[in-house]
Structure 1
Amino acid sequence: MMAGFVRVGALCLLFTVVSGFDVWNLDQLEQAKKTGQKLITVKDLHVPAGKTLDFQGLNGTTIEFAGRVTFGYQEWRGPLIIIKGARYTVKGLPGHLIDGEGHRWWDTLGGNGGKKKPGFIYLHLEDSYVKDLKFKNAPAHGFAVNACRNLHIENVDIDNADGHTKGGHNTDGFDVAHCQNVKITGCRVNNQDDCLALSSGKNVVFTNNVCIGGHGIAVIGGYDGDNVEDILIKDCKVIKNNIGVRVKTMLNGKGLVKGVTFDNIQLQDISETGIVVIGNYLNSGPRGQPTRGCPIQNLQMTNIYGNVLKNGTKHLVWVADDASNWTWNSKIQGGDRLRPCQGIPKGVNVVCGK
């Protein structure tokens, strides 16, 4: 860091130039931490197998990614990258790529068996901004956004397209839990699981995002008694997923899902179901009758439009009798298969079978 002067008219202004610290290996990253660097540029770095690219303890730092970042192969849980702290700016420079080379782990089983697969990136941030990042081929889950406060994620590209033919599974885009005041905007996810899986938190916004090839956008209630409140999912496109949007609560789960809004969501070529709202969810698949204990309240499905393929279903609602205060306005085409519904609040019109 150095200081200099600029003369403007009769005034001399003192300015500060922050010089960057380039990181090519993990030893240099440790040196950057010890010397309190505030601008770190990661350049063409290879992380050894079984090691995490660890950006903890760097409050107030800007982290830039340049070139190609890669990781050695090992069966372990990871994560490959962790960023934890406050007042971070994390961004990608033009031409960079963070490449998980997930095909080395993919075996069609994801987290349900086979090889141990590391998560890609874990964020635990406050008052921070993450933007302009490009990720490719996550071994398993992509972004774990956990216990974050006042975080904005913008223009992130998660490209797992290779997993469609090479055995990718459980390659979630964004897994959000225990967060407050988080925005995810302008992102693109091509994957083999949920584009967004939001399981707890308050004041979370997911807008102007594109989801391709996966399992749609999901809000999940009933995990460990946690609540999901005041969620806005708006102006998104869900393309060639098996499900468009869904709210699912755990079988025998406890908690509350309140104030979830889906607004202006375009569905394109959904193969199974356009909108799903269920209260009998298990990781192995929905099962049996829905249970009380995690009511879905103040749910708004507004202007959900597009198409479901011919053998699919427009709507599936299967909840207990404790749901209340819903608004439903969908204009989904196709999906000729009608399935029975249960638990729809009085006065709400949802097209279902008998």
Structure 2
Amino acid sequence: MLLALPLLLALSNALRAYGVGEQCGSNPTLDPRPHSVSISEFGAVGDGKTLNTIAFQNAIFYLKSFADKGGAQLYVPPGKWLTGSFNLTSHLTLFLEKGAVIIGSQDPSHWEVIEPLPSYGRGLEVPGGRYQSLINGYKLHDVVITGNNGTIDGMGMVWWEWYSSHSLNHSRPHLVELVASDYVVVSNLTFLNAPLYSIHPVYCSNVHIQNVSISTPPESPHTIGIVPDSSDNVCIEDCILALGFDAITLKSGWDEYGIAYGRPTENVHIRRVHLQASSGSAIAFGSDMSGGISNVLVEHVHLFNSNSGIGFRTTEGRGGYMKEIVLSDIQMENIHTAIAVTGHCGSHPDDKFDPNALPILDQITLKDVTGKNITIAGNFAGIEKSPFTNICLSNITFSINPVSPLITWECSNVYGFSESVFPEPCSELGNPTNSSSSSCYYLQSISGKTAEL
């Protein structure tokens, strides 16, 4: 289903995110790129049938020569522009006009097979390599992917079928993947039918994702919208996402590979987003979090029609940590499990993982949360050898689905503090001897101010 998204900020000129270090602070609109060409000038045909991979590659190769002259813009006019995967360059704006649709080829030979990410050690779904994403960047600086509500359609149906039938030779591709890049903006676009992830910044710094609409059908297997992965200084705001699995997931590597790579996801600000996750979590942390996840602020969000609202996932052997995370001003409706926290989720990439690498989940605050038509308020299943600690719940009210189970909270191997929570949480989260409100005050927001209850 295509979700309509009002244009909150029309960008006819390129935006470059040199204020993103403040996460969701104000971003200056800089001068437009001094050079601009249309993809049509390189022989591309927007009929939805002609393969335009070479045209995109040639256009970007040409624009690379303007990197030291203020950068350049590649303009995609209205039309249906079929292509295989292609790479961006630094100081580039890719601009999709209204009515412009970049369509991913369904022929796997048009998608290059590349090495797995070092923090994962293998493909996510199939050992070995992975298909390169539709739009890629590697070690880039100052990259903008934007438009006048143009569309990037991954045509993922065939990929979903191959995944479900166990016919994949390599792991599925994403729509947009930026690797080891900084000062990245993705804005004012619609993303449809990603084979796997829609937007995947990995090993990146200073990323601003604003005013995008992302959707895949409810039955699309394990599709995820936005995945900040071993990245820092990330802002996600004013977006509407409806995905088959998770809407937004924070990650940082898989078992011994993520531990060895050692790059956390940190300093992330998510606000004013509307999220739906058919079979997963609207906002998820993990389960691949071996490099660590910390200093995350999620606020003013609407979660709806989802299997779970907020999810934390990890398992023994994963290592890493999830800590110093604040979620506030959350509205939920029609959610099966409002808060799902588990230490028993996810597989291992191989048999080389250390079973004694125990993940840490600590200093998590959820406050000012309301939910309508909730089946299970919370399910906390920690790890016996490494219990989840300092879970703080404040000012939370759920109206339970009248046909829900009698048990509205389930807890094991978790300790925390709660106040003004309805229905009343399990004793592990409500007993002052287990924790106290002081454990909540330690959390720091993105701006460095104490996130008090």
One of 230, 233, 236 as aligned partner of 2:295 = 230
Structure number with higher strand proportion: 1
Letter in 2 for 1:263: S
Letter in 1 for 2:81: H
Query: Is the counterpart of residue 150 in structure 1 residue 206 in structure 2?
Result: yes
1:175-214 alignment runs, 5 A limit: 175-200=227-252, 201-214=265-278
Deviation at 1:353, TM superposition (A): 9.4
Deviations 1:161-193 (A, max 9, x none): xx23xx411110111211111111111111101
Letter in 1 for 2:235: K
Query: Cα–Cα, structure 1 residues 334 and 83, in superposed 2: closer, same or farther, change >3 Å?
Result: same
Look up the match of 2:21: none
Greater CA drift, 209-218 or 69-78: 69-78
Identity rate, percent? 18
Letter in 2 for 1:91: T
Cα RMSD over matched residues? 2.8
Look up the match of 1:46: 81
Letter in 2 for 1:152: H
Deviation at 1:275, TM superposition (A): 0.4
Deviation at 1:109, TM superposition (A): 4.3
Deviations 1:217-244 (A, max 9, x none): 1012664x31111011111111101101
Query: Cα–Cα, structure 1 residues 291 and 297, in superposed 2: closer, same or farther, change >3 Å?
Result: farther
Partner SS for 1:250: coil
Query: Is the counterpart of residue 248 in structure 1 residue 303 in structure 2?
Result: no
Partner SS for 1:88: strand
Structure number with higher helix proportion: 2
Assess if the C-alpha contact under 8 Å between 1:227 and 1:257 holds in 2: yes
Partner SS for 1:90: strand
Partner SS for 1:142: strand
Deviations 1:221-271 (A, max 9, x none): 664x3111101111111110110101122233211211011111111101x
Greater CA drift, 17-26 or 190-199: 17-26
Query: C-alpha separation between the residues in 1 aligned to 2:332 and 2:286?
Result: 20
Partner SS for 2:390: coil
Look up the match of 1:217: 283
Look up the match of 2:145: 90
Query: Cα–Cα, structure 1 residues 128 and 213, in superposed 2: closer, same or farther, change >3 Å?
Result: closer
Assess if the C-alpha contact under 8 Å between 2:302 and 2:331 holds in 1: yes
Deviation at 1:97, TM superposition (A): 1.5
Query: C-alpha separation between the residues in 2 aligned to 1:346 and 1:191?
Result: 31
State how many pairs are aligned.
321
Query: C-alpha separation between the residues in 2 aligned to 1:127 and 1:87?
Result: 5
Query: C-alpha separation between the residues in 1 aligned to 2:187 and 2:205?
Result: 16
Query: C-alpha separation between the residues in 2 aligned to 1:17 and 1:345?
Result: 53
Query: Is the counterpart of residue 63 in structure 1 residue 63 in structure 2?
Result: no
Deviation at 1:343, TM superposition (A): 2.3
Look up the match of 1:107: 161
Look up the match of 2:378: 315
Query: Cα–Cα, structure 1 residues 47 and 29, in superposed 2: closer, same or farther, change >3 Å?
Result: farther
Scaled by the length of structure 2, what TM-score is found? 0.65
Q: After TM superposition, where is structure 1 displaced by more than 6 Å over at least 4 residues in a row? A: none
Assess if the C-alpha contact under 8 Å between 1:62 and 1:89 holds in 2: yes
Query: C-alpha separation between the residues in 2 aligned to 1:103 and 1:306?
Result: 33
Query: Is the counterpart of residue 139 in structure 1 residue 202 in structure 2?
Result: no
Query: Is the counterpart of residue 294 in structure 1 residue 327 in structure 2?
Result: no
Query: C-alpha separation between the residues in 1 aligned to 2:93 and 2:288?
Result: 36
Assess if the C-alpha contact under 8 Å between 2:378 and 2:410 holds in 1: no
Deviations 1:252-305 (A, max 9, x none): 3211211011111111101x3110112111259xxxxx9982121111011221
Letter in 2 for 1:23: I
Where in structure 1 are there 5+ consecutive unaligned residues? 1-14, 285-289
Greater CA drift, 327-336 or 231-240: 327-336
Partner SS for 2:332: strand
Partner SS for 2:157: helix
Query: Cα–Cα, structure 1 residues 72 and 109, in superposed 2: closer, same or farther, change >3 Å?
Result: closer
One of 326, 330, 334 as aligned partner of 2:400 = 334
Deviations 1:301-331 (A, max 9, x none): 112211244xx31110111354332210221
Partner SS for 1:176: coil
Scaled by the length of structure 1, what TM-score is found? 0.81
Deviations 1:34-65 (A, max 9, x none): 455512213346344xx31210xx32222212
Query: Cα–Cα, structure 1 residues 108 and 169, in superposed 2: closer, same or farther, change >3 Å?
Result: farther
Query: Is the counterpart of residue 79 in structure 1 residue 133 in structure 2?
Result: yes
Where in structure 2 are there 5+ consecutive unaligned residues? 1-30, 41-54, 112-130, 253-264, 349-354, 429-453
Higher relative contact order (CA closer than 8 Å, sequence separation 6+):
2
